[in-house]
A and B are shown apart, each in its own frame.
Chain A
Amino acid sequence: MSPSYQDLIAAAREVIPEVEPADVASRVASGDGPLIIDVRETAEWDQGHLPGAVHIPRGFLESRIGGTAPDSDQEILVSCASGQRSLLSAQTLHHMGFTNVTNLAGGFARWKQNNHPVEVPRILSAAQRSRYSRHILIPEVGEEGQMKLLDSKALLIGAGGLGSPAAYYLAAAGIGTIGLVDDDEVDESNLQRQIIHTTDRVGMNKGESAKQAIAALNPEVQVNVHPFRVNRDNVLDLVSQYDVIVDGADNFPTRYLLADASLMTKTPLVHASILRFEGHASVFNPYDGPCYRCLFPEPPPPDLAPSCGEAGVLGVLCGVMGNIQATEAIKVLLGIGDTLSGRLLIYDALGMTFTELKVRRDPDCPSCGPNADLQLRDYEAWCAGVGSHDHAGVSA
């Protein structure tokens, strides 16, 4: 006769020792607990579990246990709701060669009745799980990473060529709060590249226009419109409300101002700049890698630094560079991968080449060096001053 459920449970009890919740609780409290595997279904796990437990639903136990417990001699405690599924799971682990497996007597129900501490995981809603499912599938992101993004705040300087694609993709990625700093209005000549705006919003503040586009794409994102120019009076207040700065400014005074504010508030700065067919991108982590001034100690004079309005820019280039910025911002926020910190990426769309240059910390950097006297200055005057270099003869 085939064994009944009761027979299976009885057989498992003969090989798997049970541990009382009070014993586990005291060991967990002293930091000496075993590896706890919770084999319940996701909906049960979401209601709460033992502190520090790892969730492997019973159906995935055999395939996933190796990744969690590579050592077969490791002490493992299995738990479920009442101690029955975990008992059978523990027996499975025993069959797989794990030598030190125990079962939580009475399961999570008894644990909770005895008022031992319970961890309730923060969870994504069903709608969020669906919307962000492709992120959640990536091991480096997962649910935890997605929740990090939902809690993150990104400040975009400029809702223009770089800011448009960056804001769109950061919003789609579920960055919880996006700040848009732009005092400009949407102009017809913007629409060749500033794809977050639309023809019927010409004349509207760019931040407001972008807010409408983001609301249509992902209404969950909080958009803060800052319809003014960032300056030395408002920059520190503004930047300190955010976790990362995405620099899409169109002038050097603002770029140097942001670079210094990034250092003063210790907020990472994701840089990109564009002209015609060429783009630059880098990441400046305050005091952990070079800063913008380590790379470019001084701005060039105006005739060597035309704006896109003066010299033109390929619309698509903005998409490439703005999305490189969005990518780097997400990596910075999640703390994953290798960012462009210490590297300048140069994209030449005409040659379709990506070139990388090494950027090192300048020990004499006037902004981040050990002897730097960092304070916000009149960046307009400073850029005009250092930018008024004499232009000279040929002899080198």
Chain B
Amino acid sequence: MSTVKIPPVLRQAAGGERTVEAKGANVGEVLTALCEAHPAIGKQILTSDGELHKFVNVYVNDEDARLMQWTDTPVGDDDTLLILPAMAGGQ
């Protein structure tokens, strides 16, 4: 099981959790498991085709998954996935 860090805007959809454990051998599988466990998250981060929206950044540990093998990027039990949408607040 790898750890998925949930950003503040998705925490309500994750039942208020800041981190969620999810199974999967790569980024795509972990996100699928996450969205099955928390369907409200899927509604926010996936397109109607089941693809990740472009505004969602996914990091495996400290590296951008887009710059590795994107959803095929392998994920081990000790890895942490971070879902990162941009935040606009400043005031």
Contacts and interface: CB of A to CB of B under 8 A. Distances in A.
B46 A311 contact: no
Contact of A304 (B39, B42, B44, B47): B44
Contacts of B8: 275-278, 311
Given A296-B57, A308-B89, A357-B84, A393 B62 contact: no
A98 B2 CA distance: 64
A137 interface: no
Interface string A243-273: 0000111111001000000000000000011
Contacts of A303: 44
Contacts of B56: 300
A296 B55 contact: yes
Contact of B42 (A295, A359, A394): A394
| Most A C-beta atoms less than 10 A away, residue of B36, B39, B55, B88 | B88
A273 B90 contact: yes
A331 to B, nearest CB: 20
A251 B88 contact: yes
A254 to B, nearest CB: 8
Q: Tell me whether chain B's interface is mostly helix, strand or loop, or mixed.
A: mixed
A194 B63 CA distance: 34
A273 B7 CA distance: 13
A356 interface: yes
Interface residues on B, range: 35 or more
A184 B67 CA distance: 40
Q: Which of B43, B85, B87, B91 has the most CB of A within 10 A?
A: B91
Contact of B46 (A300, A358, A392): A392
Interface residues of A, number: 61
A274 B90 contact: yes
A306 interface: yes
A161 interface: yes
A95 interface: no
A386 B44 CA distance: 14
A177 to B, nearest CB: 21
A109 B19 CA distance: 73
Contacts of A394: 35-36, 39, 42-43, 46
A387 to B, nearest CB: 8
B62 A306 contact: no
B64 interface: yes
Interface string B40-63: 001110111110111111010011
Interface of A: 157-158, 160-163, 184, 190, 194, 247-252, 255, 272-278, 280, 295-301, 303-309, 311, 313, 344, 346, 348, 350-351, 355-360, 386-387, 389-396
